[in-house]
Structure formats: structure tokens, C-alpha cells
Amino acid sequence: MSKKDKELSGKQKAALLLISLGPEVSASVYRHLSEEEIERLTLEISSVKKVDSQAKEDIIEEFHQIAVAQEYISQGGIGYAKTVLEKALGEQQAQAIINRLTSSLQVRPFDFARKADPGQIFNFIQNEHPQTIALILSYLEPAQAGVILSSLPQEVQADIAKRIAMMESTSPEVISEIESVLERKLSSTVTQDYTETGGVDAVVEVLNGVDRQTEKTILDALEIRDPELAEEIKKRMFVFEDIVTLDARAIQRIIRDCENEDLLLAMKISSEEVKDILFRNMSQRMAETFREEMEIMGPVRLRDVEDAQTRIVAVTRRLEDSGEIIIARGGGDDIIV
């Protein structure tokens, strides 16, 4: 790259790259940017009068190298990326690319573990302290964490689920130490500020990946230890919009067991997909009546709509608990034969 190109700012390089890629590709890129980013880039592009052919080639090559490096990082971490790049480009250029990436991109802790088999991770961490297990699970993919949580002894499952839910932040030193134990050869960059993970949403994602029996065992135990937390988790396990994931028989049963007023209110702010699937599972007469009533329905309080949706979710979970409908989950007990 020429000295002139090195002096270009990141914004200028981005503008030149988009010009070089052409309007169709640039338009696709714009769809992934914020309004502020689009505005700044558009102003920069509008200020460019001419693109030097050599600058164009250099910027495209630089972009390609960074894209390839990021792909290597996603495959095997920074250490792997650096090794491959050094063989292809030499140590100095490889280090420059890695530095450029790590200065602007944060590689999440335990990146290597998210590509590992959950059985292998389970074998390694099953005897660790519950807080250590909770920390590791909170960084894994929900499906992985669900498999591992299901494999742990029942007497510790609820404790670990609660620890994930209550987790707020963990110091980078602790994360780094646990990472090193789990994968000694990992070369990872951990930001110096505290990394947030866990929380109720995290444990909900994990529980959505376990089998129904494991979920029930954990929630039953949490109801004894921390009823408020158990109730909060239950509220988020299945939300009204998730009704689109159910089969027609289940939806028809939910419609039959719910109050019409609740259904009308719940559909008030639901997506077109939800409305469509509910209408398709109603009788023609009921669907026509609902459409007419929704057209003349005046403004309603958001709280009333949310309460109606909560009551429908409660009906859905009651039907699932009684075995009358099935909500697909991560475990094998949901396989229908």
C-alpha cells in the first residue's frame, strides 16, 4: 500500500471501497448500517471526485485480508488466525492485520468452546464449582448450554440456573483464568472493562435448549428457593409471538381455551404473521367476527394488551403441562412418533 493510502482514514477507505464495489453491492451493505453511519458514509462518498486505480486495488486488497483474518478468527480464534496469516503474508503483515482487527472488534470469551462438542465440555467442567460452570454456560450457545445443563446432576441444575440468572458482570482476570484452564493454547483478547453476561434472558435461552423434564425439575426447585425468579423465567420461556412455532392442532386448542376478549386484545399489536396464523386456525365465522371487531376497536392501553397476552401464554403453558399440546424444545422428549 502506498504512503498516500496509509494516510487515509477508516471512513475514507470505507467510502472508496463502496465506490469500487459498485451501487448494487453498496446498497446491500447500507442495509446493515445505522442511519448515522449511512449519513457519514454518504457525505464521504459525495466528496470523492476520482478514485485512483492503485488506491482502489490497495483498499480492496486490505479489505480482503481483514475479511479473511476475521474468518480465521471465527474458525479457531486469534491464535489460529495469526498462525495462518503469518504463513501466507509474513509475520509483520499478519500482526498488523490482527492488531487492526482486535483494536476494533471484540472476540467474545470462550469463542473456541462454542465450536466444541457439548459432551467434551461437560466432561471437563462437570466437577468444577457451580459458579465456574454457570460462567462457562452463560458464554456458550444456548443449545450447547442446554445439553450440558441437562447432563449435570439434578441436585445442582437449579443452583446453576439461578447463578446464570443472577450473574451480572465478571472481571476480565477471572474470565481469562478460566479460559486458560479450559483451553491453554487459546490466544484471546479480553477487554479491560467488565464483561456482562448471564441474567434472566441468558438462563431462559439455556432452559429453552433443555428437555421438558430438566426444565420442570429446575423450575420446581427454583420455585422453592426463589419464587420471584422462577415466575420471571416462566414469563419469558414462551411469549405470545412464539405461537407461530406451534402446530395447527395446538393453536386451535389454545384458541378454544382462551377468552375471545383476550385474543382480540392480544392480536391488537401482534405481527401480521401471528394474526394470519390465528385467523387460519379459527372457524370462518369466528375469523370474520374478529376482523370486524378489530376494525371498530378503539385505542387500548398497552398494559391491557400485555396482560391479555400473558393470560394466553399461561393457558398455553397449562396445556403443555397437561400434555395436551407440545412446545418444541431442545430435548429428545419432544420427538413425535
pLDDT given for residue 179 in this prediction: 72
- Report the predicted TM-score, pTM, of the whole model to 2 decimal places: 0.41
* Higher per-residue pLDDT: 174 or 315: 315
Classify 311 as helix, strand or coil.
helix
- Contacts of 151 by beta carbon, 8 Å cutoff, 6+ apart: 118, 119, 122, 126
> What letter would DSSP give residue 231?
H
> What's the N-to-C CA distance of the chain in angstroms?
62
**What mean pLDDT value characterizes the chain?**
76
pLDDT given for residue 70 in this prediction: 65
244, three cell numbers: 407461530
pLDDT given for residue 290 in this prediction: 92
All domains in the chain, ordered by first residue = 3-104 (no CATH), 113-235 (1.10.220.30), 238-334 (1.10.220.30)
> Which pLDDT tens digit goes with each residue over 53-77?
777 788 887 777 777 766 666 666 6
Spatial distance between the Cα atoms of 217 and 204, rounded to a whole number of angstroms: 14
* Higher per-residue pLDDT: 61 or 164: 164
Mean pLDDT, residues 135-140 taken together: 86
Which range, of 54-58, 212-216, 224-228, averages the lowest pLDDT? Answer: 212-216
- % pLDDT > 90, the chain: 13
pLDDT given for residue 48 in this prediction: 66
pLDDT given for residue 3 in this prediction: 43
The answer to whether the beta carbons of residues 80 and 88 sit under 8 Å apart is no
pLDDT given for residue 2 in this prediction: 45
The answer to whether the beta carbons of residues 274 and 240 sit under 8 Å apart is yes
Mean pLDDT, residues 152-172 taken together: 83
Residue 193 scores a pLDDT above 80: no
Q: How far is CA 315 from CA 5, 181, 243, 308, 319, in A?
A: 63, 46, 12, 11, 6
What band does 331 get if pLDDT is binned at 50, 70 and 90?
very low
Residue 200 scores a pLDDT above 50: yes
What band does 252 get if pLDDT is binned at 50, 70 and 90?
very high
* Higher per-residue pLDDT: 134 or 100: 134
Residue 7 scores a pLDDT above 80: no
What band does 185 get if pLDDT is binned at 50, 70 and 90?
very low
Classify 169 as helix, strand or coil.
strand
Which range, of 43-52, 138-147, 188-197, 237-246, averages the lowest pLDDT? Answer: 188-197
Residue 283 scores a pLDDT above 90: yes
Spatial distance between the Cα atoms of 316 and 333, rounded to a whole number of angstroms: 18
Q: How many CB atoms lie within 10 A of CB 297?
A: 13
**Which of 146, 171, 57, 122 has its CA nearest to residue 334?**
146
Q: Are strands 169-170 and 195-196 parallel, antiparallel or unpaired?
A: antiparallel
Residue 189 scores a pLDDT above 80: no
Residue 173 scores a pLDDT above 80: no
Which range, of 37-41, 57-61, 311-315, averages the lowest pLDDT? Answer: 37-41
pLDDT given for residue 183 in this prediction: 66
Residue 269 scores a pLDDT above 90: no
Spatial distance between the Cα atoms of 296 and 290, rounded to a whole number of angstroms: 10
What band does 220 get if pLDDT is binned at 50, 70 and 90?
confident
pLDDT given for residue 192 in this prediction: 36
Beta bridge mates, 170: 195
Residue 39 scores a pLDDT above 70: no
pLDDT given for residue 335 in this prediction: 40
Spatial distance between the Cα atoms of 196 and 124, rounded to a whole number of angstroms: 24
Label residues 70-95 b or e (16+ Cβ within 10 Å = b).
eebbeeebbbbbbebbeeebeeeebe
Q: Is the dihedral of CA 326, 327, 333, 337 positive or negative?
A: positive
What band does 188 get if pLDDT is binned at 50, 70 and 90?
very low
Residue 23 scores a pLDDT above 60: yes
Beta bridge mates, 195: 170
51, three cell numbers: 478514485
